[in-house]
Chain A
Amino acid sequence: MQEINRETLIAKAKELLDAGTVDRLLGWKRGEFDWDVTPAVFTADNLGEFVYNSFCGANFSKYLIAETRKSEKKVLVFLKPCDTYSFNQLLTEHRFDRERVYAVGIPCEGMLDVAKIRGLSDNVASVTDGETVKIETLWDGEITSEREKLLAERCLNCKSKKHVAYDELIGEDGDVLDSHRFDEVERLESLTPDERYAFWQNELSRCIRCNACRDVCPACTCEKCVFDNPNSGLENKAAANEFEEKLFHIIRAFHVAGRCTDCGECSRVCPQHIPLHLLNRKFIRDIDNFYGEYQAGAEVGSRAPIVNFTTDDLEPSEAVRRDENA
């Protein structure tokens, strides 16, 4: 159950619209069902369709790139704690104009994963949030589940309830958490190379190259991705073989290394439920181990260890040796 509700957010939006602080806002539009909300731009006229519930997980930071280009007026954006890290990372990379945004930090109790709900019933009439989530089904009556069991993976392993960027906060700010987000990475590291290969082979064989992971990713903001560019020699609309299946993901993981904030959007949107966050977390952990703890997006303007140089840096050969012994 979220601490804040639709009414609180609408009241805040109206207040800022009336005061002329902003002239529009990014929010979620009501869908056909409880779970199919759509990111949208609102003004005072269409706030009736504004919705806020535990399916409003989309990270709006990346939308600010396009939205801030549309007008010099400020746009209001509501940011969950994890979104604020992407927000800062985009600012570090000069991807949008901070002056054109009014950011309101909102608390978050974790978002629900509709795939987990579908695991309980594939005919969901409605979902009522609470410590016990009630799922009204079409043919099986009401099903209930502990909220914890339906949380999205990224929320179960939430790294921080602290907002690292905002103009204003609703509610109390939280803390950086001791999460278990690297447990699964450690498990994979403990496998033999062959077992690990088999794991990724199995997962990535389902990839249909829809590119949703890339398109939603706040670290993927190239004007033209090499994989879309016929002149790059890498353009590729579908994997022709097992090698190409992995090529896309390896290049992508390397390209976002040090910039990925672990917001979890890639895994949220993957229609084939591929645990992409594990690739990113492996890089994050390696960077932490080799160069000292670093959280992308924690502050604006920080230099990621892999684009920085200090005389204390680990020699590449030492990094390779440690990884081999891992």
Chain B
Amino acid sequence: MRKLSLERLDALLSSISEKMPLYLPVDTDGGAHFVRFQSGLKPSEKLLPSKSAKDIFFPQSEELVNFKVDGKKIEIIDIRKECEDFVVWGVTPCDAKALRVLDNVFLAEPIDSFYKNRRDHGIIVSLACARPSETCFCQTFGIDAADPDCDVAIYKADGYLYLSPKTDKGEKLVASLADLTEDTDEKPVEDAKNTIRERLAKLPLANLKADAFGAGKTSKFFDAPEWSELSESCLGCGSCTFHCPTCQCYDIKDIDTGHGVIRQRCWDSCMYSEFTKMSAGQPRLTQKERFRQRFMHKLVYYPERYNGLYSCVGCGRCLRVCPIGMNIVKVMKKLGGNENA
């Protein structure tokens, strides 16, 4: 465990950014957003960036491959490049866990080489949540906001920043900052963790349980009459999916440039009318089915496929952005009944 005075935070960030690209949440007119660090930029003090660190690993749109067409000749241009190591600073513990959810999907065969490239080179620095919000419910999914699952966990306490490396990547990063930091015992961090856990226990959603959901519950919930009421005013805007750190669906489109093709992928949303449309048509005909898909995927299908792990991390973004105030907490309470008090 190492520490440095919070007054020297800028020196620390500058030192990292001299070694490799550093991304961190910075305040903008539209909330905190991840940007590349430049000297003078101040990290946002906000708990939750508007959009999660997912965007850095799985951007909203990216080119996959290009084709050059010359008469009947098609040349395939592989545009993949190995990226350099980089640091993502200030990832919330929920968002760090969300990357594990994405890993299950993108790092299994067939491996998504675009995601893997960034994942291999990205170093996640996660700040424990001293001031959780009323919309936070990471605990429901077994996430400990006092002890993030990441490369380096950081804590702020009594004027110091504490750095606790948790993986080899993290050890290396912290070692490279030795001239700015000093050794410290674990006591202040243990105290900080206790304070965080006391606060987590007091959150309004602290008692929300996911036990009613999980593997094997498809038939129990699929035809539940409650879906009609829950989805009745949903606009199908997809704002919830585009802010969600675990949503992973994408679409692929070929853009004709006149002398070739750019193959692009971009996020898609189960809330959209054209989602997974096939030659036979659209499998989910009304907003009710699309809405159901989103929540069944988070709470039932994903855990069924991946060892009981839920694909919601309780970040609370969907609670904040939905124009009609509908969200996964309301769905869980309505469908889970008493098991979810």
Contacts and interface: CB of A to CB of B under 8 A. Distances in A.
A206 B242 CA distance: 12
Chain B's interface size range is 35 or more
A279 B207 CA distance: 44
Interface stretch (B15-23, B44-52, B297-305): B44-52
Interface in A123-140: 123-125, 138-139
B205 to A, nearest CB: 7
B272 to A, nearest CB: 7
A300 interface: no
A32 B47 contact: no
Nearest to A269: B323
Given A123-B133, A203-B29, A238-B267, A208 B51 contact: yes
Contact of A39 (B237, B266, B324): B324
B50 A228 contact: no
B273 A228 contact: yes
27 contacts: A32-B204, A32-B205, A33-B134, A37-B325, A38-B326, A39-B233, A39-B324, A40-B232, A40-B233, A41-B232, A122-B46, A124-B133, A138-B199, A212-B235, A216-B235, A216-B237, A228-B272, A228-B274, A237-B272, A238-B60, A238-B267, A240-B61, A240-B264, A269-B237, A269-B239, A272-B31, A273-B30
Contact of B199 (A139, A208, A209, A212): A139
Interface of A: 31-33, 35-41, 58, 63, 122-125, 138-139, 202-203, 206, 208-212, 214-216, 228, 230, 235, 237-240, 268-269, 271-274
A210 B134 contact: no
Given A33-B134, A273-B31, A211 B237 contact: yes
Interface of B: 28-31, 33, 46-48, 50-51, 60-61, 131-134, 199, 202-205, 229, 232-233, 235-239, 242-243, 251, 255, 264, 266-269, 272-274, 277, 319-327, 329-330
B239 A124 contact: no
A35 B242 CA distance: 21
A235 B134 contact: no
B229 A40 contact: yes
Contacts of B46: 122
Contacts of B204: 32-33, 125, 138
